[in-house]
């Protein structure tokens, strides 16, 4: 029988969520915001307090620690990210706990128009009697990924207090800047020193994710011919009009985020800026397969070439750079980390579910860099917005999964 972790998880999550540690994609510094170090310094203090070894805050802003093993086995890394999403207000988070959820509508003290209902979010309807944690209506909660942090800190505290709980050597990593895709420093794989790892950054109970998108970034620059509009007849070449033409020519009914699902990838215009003289367009290209991703890049380039050919006075460049790759490419060579997670879940009565993620995780980069790293559930729901919520009992299941993994790894 597993011990009861719910109260410790509620305490940790509410304390961690109240600390603003939002990341900022526009900042060139590392970590992107200094406030993330407030979380990191607290974790250093708490890890030291519970007796973790080798507690370090690296100069790239990651907190590392060791939980010594009781038996020989693979060294397993466990990761969670301390930053919260830049997409929504994250300052002044006031977490509150709804004890013994009764299945009704959840309202918000700071936003009377807002409500959370099981009709809109059926997973909430499965959580009768659970302790539900939300924010107050004007901010996100930040369970993404303070839940992962709380789960790992609770598991670590339990293991360090119970030296008989069998486990191999474990390494913990709390990373900054995951939400802006900068969570994995090139030095992290060596500093982590794990044979394989897991992020606790997933949603509903049972999720064991080992397939992510493969991702490229495309920058299109369109240079027209700028001239005073009063003297423009037959001379002006508007970069804005060419940009509009490019967007219009892309397959908008079959290959955008809003028109695709499941295993289909997309081309998504995320940003456009400039003027009649020059326009810069940013696209993200996503697909689960290398071929599909390459085809999307080729299509974009081909359309740019076509538009350039229709207006020889304009210059159009299309620069494609890799972002991350589907972790399945590496995991299918050695499925040990996935099999272990599946076995560890079943050992505590949870049926694992592995669905491809239409996004990436810190684990995608880490896997590519040689540390296979599937993603495990925490319970977090409706992330990156004011309706974000999590069940403390779901987090307790994730904590149990972490402990089950450490046992299972010795078998
Ligand atoms: Zn996350």
Taking only the tens place, the pLDDT of each residue in 170-217 is 999 999 999 998 999 999 999 999 999 999 999 999 999 999 999 999
Distance from the alpha carbon of residue 144 to the mean position of ligand 1, in angstroms: 5
- Of the residues 20, 177, 178, 368, only one is catalytic, namely 178
Span 327-354, average pLDDT: 96
* Res. 2: pLDDT tops 80: no
* Res. 1: pLDDT tops 60: no
**Cβ proximity of 81 and 180 under 8 Å:** no
241-251 confidence digits (pLDDT tens)? 999 999 999 99
pLDDT of residue 75: 98
- Positive or negative torsion for Cα 244, 245, 250, 251: positive
Q: Whole-angstrom Cα distance, residue 33 to residue 91?
A: 13
Omega before residue 233 within 30° of 0, cis: no
Distance from the alpha carbon of residue 214 to the mean position of ligand 1, in angstroms: 17
Give the number of other Cβ atoms within 10 Å of residue 289's Cβ.
15
Going by pLDDT thresholds of 50, 70 and 90, the confidence category of residue 361 is confident
Distance from the alpha carbon of residue 301 to the mean position of ligand 1, in angstroms: 32
Distance from the alpha carbon of residue 141 to the mean position of ligand 1, in angstroms: 12
Omega before residue 145 within 30° of 0, cis: yes
Let me know if 7 is a catalytic residue.
Answer: no
The two structure tokens encoding residue 274: 């400039």
Distance from the alpha carbon of residue 81 to the mean position of ligand 1, in angstroms: 7
Q: Pick from 201, 206, 155: which is nearest to 47 by CA?
A: 155
- Of the residues 83, 179, 209, 211, only one is catalytic, namely 83
Q: What is the pTM of this model?
A: 0.89
Going by pLDDT thresholds of 50, 70 and 90, the confidence category of residue 395 is very high
H helix or E strand, kind and range, residue 270: strand 266-274
Let me know if 278 is a catalytic residue.
Answer: no
pLDDT of residue 24: 95
215-242 confidence digits (pLDDT tens)? 999 999 999 999 999 999 999 999 999 9
Distance from the alpha carbon of residue 389 to the mean position of ligand 1, in angstroms: 14
- Residues around ligand 1, an ion, CB closer than 5 A: 144-145, 201
């Amino acid at each position: 029988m597993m011990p009861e972790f719910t109260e410790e998880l509620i305490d940790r999550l509410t304390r961690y969520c109240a600390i603003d540690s939002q990341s900022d994609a526009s900042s060139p510094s590392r970590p992107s915001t200094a406030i993330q170090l407030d979380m990191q310094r607290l974790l250093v203090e708490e890890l030291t307090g519970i007796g973790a070894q080798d507690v370090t805050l690296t100069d790239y802003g990651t907190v590392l620690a060791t939980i010594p093993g009781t038996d020989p086995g693979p060294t397993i890394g466990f990761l969670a990210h301390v930053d919260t999403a830049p997409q929504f207000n994250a300052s002044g988070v006031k977490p509150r706990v709804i004890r013994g959820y009764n299945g009704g509508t959840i309202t918000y003290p700071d936003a009377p128009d807002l409500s959370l209902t099981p009709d809109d979010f059926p997973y909430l309807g499965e959580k009768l009697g659970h302790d539900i944690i939300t924010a107050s209506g004007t901010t996100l909660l930040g369970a993404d990924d303070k839940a992962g942090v709380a789960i790992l800190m609770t598991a670590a505290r339990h293991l360090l207090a119970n030296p008989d709980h069998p486990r191999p050597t474990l390494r913990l990593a709390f990373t900054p800047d995951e939400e802006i895709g900068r969570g994995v420093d090139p030095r992290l794989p060596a500093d982590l020193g794990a044979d394989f790892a897991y992020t606790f950054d997933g949603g509903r109970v049972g999720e064991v994710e080992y397939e992510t998108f493969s991702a490229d970034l495309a920058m299109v620059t369109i240079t027209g011919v700028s001239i005073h509009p009063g003297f423009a007849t037959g001379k002006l070449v508007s970069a804005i009009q060419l940009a509009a033409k490019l967007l219009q020519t892309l397959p908008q009914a079959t290959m955008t985020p809003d028109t695709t699902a499941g295993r289909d990838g997309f081309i998504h215009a995320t940003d456009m800026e400039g003027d009649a003289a020059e326009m810069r367009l940013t696209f993200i290209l996503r697909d689960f397969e290398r071929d599909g991703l390459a085809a999307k890049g080729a299509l974009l380039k081909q359309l740019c070439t076509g538009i350039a050919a229709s207006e020889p006075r304009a210059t159009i460049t299309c620069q494609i750079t890799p972002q991350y790759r589907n972790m399945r490419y590496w995991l299918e060579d050695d499925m040990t980390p996935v099999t272990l997670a599946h076995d560890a879940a079943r050992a505590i009565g949870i049926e694992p579910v592995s669905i491809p993620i239409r996004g990436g995780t810190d684990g995608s980069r880490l896997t590519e860099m040689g540390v296979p790293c599937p993603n495990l559930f925490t319970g977090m729901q409706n992330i990156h917005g004011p309706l974000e919520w999590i069940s403390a009992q779901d987090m307790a299941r994730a904590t149990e999964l972490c402990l089950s993994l450490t046992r299972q790894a010795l078998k």
